[in-house]
Structures are given as structure tokens and as C-alpha cells.
Structure 1
């Protein structure tokens, strides 16, 4: 466990804030890995259900993924606020200068092969591990990268300016957005529906998936159906309540 200071907060979308966290030591991790936020919630605090009896404080633990590359004393976390959430509400109430506690970064979502074509498939804040991995791949990889990102509407899209700039700077990167709740000039519907259309060689591509559990499961099934070997499909194994109750 380490203490970190929130040094800046940037609103990315109406419901998402990005937090820069600075520590006394360098962060070392594989791009795509996550940390765990720890804090104590007052058992009698606002939003808690109780019958008037005294309640003990409860430790809350939630996973969040660094969006940048390792090797510095800071990481950034993009966190979406859920009105009935716990950790997301706690973080959205923080201010620059606040100290919070996080674990060392770890996890199963990281690039396996820098010499193979890759495709990143994400929805919502599932984009966060993909941002660090695509940066690493564009720096060190030796193939083509396809970045598929699904959201409800244009105002919900995170990191659009960054992704558009990366695509403009790298001929071997294609970025595809799909919106499920808005008619626009781009693709619509669920992002996983577009895999076959935009990934040049699915059977020769490593896939990395992160987002709501339904999307991850459907993407894995779709990839298997079109012949992508199981060992080329990678996702973080969040439990459903960890994804929905932020």
C-alpha cells in the first residue's frame, strides 16, 4: 500500500474526471494493469442505509487502471461517477492536495506480444487500460493496431482528442468509435458488432477487451465464432458488481 497525493483533477466528460496521483517513488507496472483504491466509509455516513444503530466503519476497495505509461512518480486514473456508487462518489468529492491510499499496480491485462497485430475493444471506462497499452504498442510494437471504442453518445467519449491525434501520427493505427444511443456520421450500435469489418486479419490478431461484462462476454463469443484462437483473446476478469458499482 502506498499514499499518493492528488495533484490535479480534470473533467473529461459530464460524468468522468481524470485524477493525477503523485507518489514518492516511481511507479513500475505493465501498461494495462490496475491499482486498488482503499478508503474507510463511515457506517453512519450519507447514503448508507441503517436503522439508527451505530455502525462500524467499512473499508471500501475498488479497482482503477492507470491510463499512462510507467516509469514516473505519477499515474492518472479516469473515474466515472455513479450517483448510487461508493468509490466513484468518494473520488469525485476529492480536491487537489488530498492524500489517498492505493495498492501497487497488478493484473492480467497487458500486452502479450509486441510483434503481433493487436485490437483493443472497450466500452465506457473500460477504455482506461487500452490507453496505456496502445501507447506502449505504438512505441514498441511491430504490427497494426485497431482501437474500437463504444459509448452511448459523443459527449460521453473519453480521450477522443488523444486518440485522433495518435491515429493522425501513426499510419499503423486505426481508431473506430461506435455510439449506441446517438445518430451521427460514424458507426452505431454495439462496438463488438464491428470487429469483422474493421480488423484486417482477426485470426492473426491479439485481442484485448475491457468494459461491462456483457460486452466482454459477447466479444469473446463473437471472436471465437470467427476463428480467433482462445489464447489470443485477453480480458480482465472483473466481477459484475465491481464493474457496475463504482
Structure 2
């Protein structure tokens, strides 16, 4: 049996078919609600159910605060209606020429950026343009049907090419191939299958507030795409990038970030290391990267934040920025990098 969902405050309606989640049905109807992982391990798709019955699944109880759960908050990527629903959720505007589709791609190059980070350049089919918003991601569809998600580290597909930053996850089904482990190392000219573009993580062009970019590890990839997009558009909104890693090698494109200061008026770059060792020669900031933001900007009420990286970092930033720094909840935009290992821990 299908059910109707009404989205407030826009009063948009769509139908959820049997077996669909609220998020999947909304996307199928062309209504883009905020989302990232789609598997219940982040809270990007959090919304409030005003009325109606639904199966929330176990994920919201693991991620959301008890007070929010009591107010009807849930994860729309997991919620399955058992009646008509009225929900409160922000709708994301998507360009009309962006179409999600599946396609074959060819591996062009594999370039090490750090001992555990590889940049993959993919050649897309040339028959039609592949358009996306800087900050979105694509999914590899592996031979067994499983999927791996990676943000595009470029503002557009020049010459039908896109770049990805892939961190090695020891024992990972896909990343082991990328780093030459196992019996089938990934090689240039290999054909893979992808679906994209996906995600709601991209800049709001109409929000004039100063931007805080927050990245950990390869969460830098979509931030790079966003900043390159700002450069192309001549976007002069004040912006500060806080990029965190454990050791200096984790900040694998530090020189690029430093160069943006010369090209983008009002841009600042703050690198932060959490495990700097005496032999690293590090004289910069140390500690948790989101805490560096709070030290510099204890009042975030007039800012917008775009955060990408490990789920723990993203969720800590969301909580602390809103509760302690006055950031409006709707001004926090995030994409959490959820690995297969992260998902396995959640499902255990």
C-alpha cells in the first residue's frame, strides 16, 4: 500500500511506494531533501515527523539525542511509512540539468597524494555531459552489487573527466585494489561502473553569510570542489577552511590550500593536527579540528558551515556548533564519509 507524504514548510507532496523509504521516494519524485550516507550512519537526512505512523528502524536511536527523538525527529533515509505522513524537512534546490544515472567509466590515472591517499582520474562517456554541483559524490557499483561512495574533487567534469581522493582502508574490498593489494589490483584503462551525481552537499549560492569549511582527511575532496567552484564564479564571500589530520602527511594538498589565499579574497586556511609528533617539525595548530573553529569563532550565529569527514567529527561539530556556538541548525551542511567498516559496526 502506498502513502502520501507532505513536506513542510514547502507543502510539497509525494507518494511512498511499498518498500521505499521517505528519502528514496522523495528523490524519485524530484524532491531533494538533505542526505549523505543513505544508510543510517550520519544524521544529514534528519527530519521531524509532525503526524503519521512509520517504522524508524534502529538507526535513529543510535545517532539522535533522546530529546529530539521524543519530538518526532528521525532519519528519513530509514523511515518507512505505515500511514500518510506530514514531515518537516528542508528542501535542497538542484539545477534542472543535473540527472542521476548509471554509466561505465574508464580509469585514466592513479596518482598517490600521500602514503594512504590515491587520486583516481576517471574518463566519463563522451556522448553526453555529466553535470554536478561541486561537493556531490558518485558511487562505484562493484561486481557483487555493493557500492562505495567518493566525492568528486573537482568543480566540473573537464574533458569528461572527474577526480576522486581515495583513502586506503586496510582490508577494504575496493581500496585494497586501488592500492595494489590482493589478486586484482586496479589498473589504468580498467572499466568500472558508477552512479551519480548524488548527495545534497553543495553551496547555497543565495546565502551571503561567511562560510566555514571543515574537513578531516579526504573530506578535503568535496571542499576542494566547492572552493574551485567559488574561484570560477568569482564568489567573494568570506570563507575559512579548517582542515584536520593526524600527522602532516594527512594534509596532502596543503600547498593548494595555501595558494587559494592569493586567489580568493577573504579566504583563510587553518590546518590542524591531532597527533603531531616532535619529529614532525609542526608549529601550527593542534587538537581536534572542530575545536579550533570554536576557539576562533565562539559565536557562529552569523555563519554557515560545510563539514565533511569522519562521521564522529561531523556529528561532534554539528552538536557543539549548534549547542555552544549558536549556529542555526539549518546552517550546518554536512557529508559524512561512511566506510563499509563503519556500517558494519552500526549493524552489529
> CA 1:200–1:190 in 2, change beyond 3 Å: closer, same or farther?
closer
> CA 1:5–1:108 in 2, change beyond 3 Å: closer, same or farther?
same
Does residue 273 of structure 2 align to residue 179 of structure 1? yes
Does residue 172 of structure 2 align to residue 105 of structure 1? no
**Structure-1 separation of matches of 2:202 and 2:342:** 19
What TM-score does the superposition give when structure 1 sets the normalisation length?
Answer: 0.86
The ranges of structure 1 where at least 4 consecutive aligned residues each deviate by more than 4 angstroms after the TM superposition are 237-245
Structure 1 runs not aligned, ≥5 long: 41-57
Match of 1:202 in 2: 300
> CA 1:235–1:29 in 2, change beyond 3 Å: closer, same or farther?
same
Structure 2 runs not aligned, ≥5 long: 1-101, 180-184
> Which one of 313, 325, 331 corresponds to residue 232 of structure 1?
331
**Structure-1 separation of matches of 2:131 and 2:175:** 25
Pair member with larger Rg: 2
Match of 1:95 in 2: 187
Match of 1:55 in 2: none
> Which one of 147, 151, 167 corresponds to residue 261 of structure 2?
167
What TM-score does the superposition give when structure 2 sets the normalisation length?
Answer: 0.62
Three-state SS of the structure 1 residue aligned to 2:140 is strand
Match of 2:320 in 1: 222
Match of 2:139 in 1: 36
Cα offset, 1:240, TM superposition: 6.4
- The Cα offsets for residues 194-245 of structure 1, whole Å up to 9 and x where unpaired, read as 1134459622211011111111111011111211101100112555646578
Match of 1:22 in 2: 123
**Structure-1 separation of matches of 2:342 and 2:261:** 29
**Structure-2 separation of matches of 1:104 and 1:239:** 17
CA RMSD of aligned residues (A): 2.0
Does residue 159 of structure 2 align to residue 67 of structure 1? no
